[in-house]
Amino acid sequence: MTLDVVIRGGTVVDGTGSPPVIADVGISGDRITAVGDIPTSAANSAKIIDATSLHISPGFIDVHSHADAALLNDGQHASGIRQGVTTEIIAPDGLTLAPLSTENYKLYRWYLSGILGWAPEDLDMSSIEASRANYHLKTSCNVATFAGHGPIRLEAAGMNDIPLTGEKLESAKNLLRESLEQGAVGFATGLSYYPNSWSDTDELCSLMEVAGAFGRPMSIHLRNHNVDRAFGGGGVTEAIEISRRTGTKLHFEHYRTFVDSAGEVEKLLEPIEEAKAEGLDITLETYPYPVGSSFPQAFFPGYFHEGGPEAMLAVINDDVKSAELIERMSEISYTNPDDNVWTHIGEGGDKDLEGWLFADLAKKWGVSVPEMMLRMMSQTSLACGMRSAPSGNVNLWRQVEKDVMELMDRPDYMVGSDSIPTGGMPHPRAYGCFARMVGRLRRRYNYPLEQVVQRMTQNPADRFGLTDRGVIAQGKFADLVIFDESKVIDRSTFEDPTLHPEGIPHVLVNGKLAVEDEDVTGALQGYAIP
Ligand SMILES: [Zn+2]
């Protein structure tokens, strides 16, 4: 077989957790066809990549990416591919843009613009099949998608506060079944987002039975909205109950300690260990930062979201109704929003305010923080997003990172960046998550390279059924990252978040160089998978 690419003399970390070995890697077309000593005669016409003193691993798989729209707007997607992410699983939290009718696509595209940015206006997203065609060979990385609770509910019942039952539930189940048949890799929901949070535990069980029949897991962002309609008050208890009742696989999104629970890993894992002892099939993911990111409407209770963006803006722009809305913020159990920072301010708003702390901007405008938030949402027609500010206590911040690496020591963990590559001041995880984990934190806390790589490659490929990905072996797809294990490091910070990492010179996707000499090549060789 003719070899198209030969990677010479690198140290192969094959994704299985086995110790690294020095070997050449040969590629024909989009597959790995040789691993070992490749004689010069066999490499005659091949492109040679010199990997002496570098490591080669399978491409990293991001199991939690909010790049649904970013990938459609700019398939190059430097923020992800420069980190070595060769597969992004989109639609986590159930927030995504398919399957949606034309009318619902317009509505949900708008509703999600604070997180996803604006997806292209005219796009056929009427099915998972149509959606996959919009990504296939149009992006630098492979794209897999969950079937999202958001679109499925929207199609079944609109932006209305009703748990699905009867005919509506049947039509949601049918849509989910169809989505899984068309290649969705699981069912995802986020229960601080809408219309997802209007569900009750029974609805989630009914939907999970459908995904379970396909052997697919549920990826869940735990409920902290509408907790009165959840088994056990939502959170971990509800998630575990769904898996218990339906016998289906469960995947916990961004499950880690926070600054106020730093160091309490054992306590965090208690319910997980109990559920696993019962025999439930559970995996988890995390990202290596102390704070998260979202959009401001997540601070407001369910009734505000009814009817969608137009109705929401009507509430915001009415003095009496907006005062009532602020009063009812306390129905959500979040801590106060003062310590958030604007990451993304869309058209109509003042871009220069990206990076402003909520408390400071409220003071500047002479209003309360919630009033400031509503004014910004009005000015930008909801297209604005924020993240939390990390604690000034670096000791606690470091403890959370130490906890994260301790979690990653477990064989049931993987990495989900929760990347939101939108706006001028995004959370640094969008540009740095994987490099931070495999470089800075692995070295600081001294974990074996092959173990950290396994969590980012084989683990997610196995869990989400990504065929022939996640390991380096003959016959597998040639998704590869070539990096310097002693130098690889994230450079994105909370203050300067859009800097690319260093120490990852080359990235290949389906046998083609997507990054060469630490620069994107322009190749759009990603497949819509699994
Ligand atoms: Zn998320």
Instruction: Indicate the domain borders of the chain.
Output: 58-291+391-516, 294-388
Q: Which of 35-49, 185-199, 419-433 has the lowest mean pLDDT?
A: 35-49
Whether the predicted pLDDT of 212 surpasses 80: yes
Average pLDDT, the chain: 97
pLDDT of 335 reads: 67
Confidence of residue 395 (pLDDT cuts 50, 70, 90): very high
pLDDT of residue 44: 85
- Predicted pLDDT at 198: 98
Q: Could you give the percent of the chain with pLDDT greater than 90?
A: 98
Residue 120: its pLDDT value, please?
A: 97
CA of 411 to the centre of ligand 1 (A): 22
More confident residue, 159 or 330: 159
Contacts 24+ apart (CB under 8 A), 347-352: 347/380, 347/381, 347/383, 348/379, 348/380, 348/381, 348/383, 349/376, 349/379, 349/380, 349/383, 349/384, 350/379, 351/424
Adjacent-strand bridge partners of 284: 252, 413
Average pLDDT over residues 57-69: 98
- H helices then E strands: how many in the chain? 19, 21
C-alpha torsion 339→345→349→350, nearest 10:
80
Residue 411 has pLDDT above 70, yes or no: yes
Q: What is the pLDDT of residues 490-502, one digit of tens each?
A: 999 999 999 999 9
CA 473 / ligand 1 centre spacing (Å)? 32
Amino acid at 333: S
* Tens-digit pLDDT profile for residues 436-467: 999 999 999 999 999 999 999 999 999 999 99
Q: Does residue 331 register a pLDDT over 90?
A: no
Distance CA 210, CA 259 (A): 37
Distance 429 CA to ligand 1 centre (A): 12
User: Per-residue confidence at 90, pLDDT binned at 50, 70, 90?
Assistant: very high
Over residues 419-435, the mean pLDDT reads: 98
Inter-axis angle of helices 102-111 and 309-316, to 10 degrees?
40
For the domain made up of 58-291+391-516, give the CATH fold.
TIM Barrel (3.20.20)
- Cis preceding linkage at 288, omega within 30: no
Structure confidence at residue 330 as a pLDDT band (50, 70, 90): confident
Q: Which residues contact 275 (CB under 8 A, 6 or more apart)?
A: 240, 243, 244, 250, 282
- Angle, helices 265-277 vs 394-408, to 10°: value is 20
Over range 369-393, report the average pLDDT: 97
Grade residue 336 by pLDDT with cuts at 50, 70 and 90.
confident
For residue 93, report the distance from its CA to the centre of ligand 1, in Å: 6
Q: Cα of 203 to ligand 1 centre, how many Å? A: 21
What is the whole-number distance in angstroms between the Cα of residue 199 and the centre of ligand 1? 18
CA of 116 to the centre of ligand 1 (A): 10
Block residue for tokens 């997610």: 460
Q: What pLDDT digit, counting tens, does each position of 173-184 carry?
A: 999 999 999 999
pLDDT classification of 45: cutoffs 50, 70, 90: confident
**How remote is the CA of residue 242 from the centroid of ligand 1, in Å?**
20
pLDDT at 194: 98
Place of tokens 């987002």: 193
Q: What is the pLDDT of residues 99-154, one digit of tens each?
A: 999 999 999 999 999 999 999 999 999 999 999 999 999 999 999 999 999 999 99
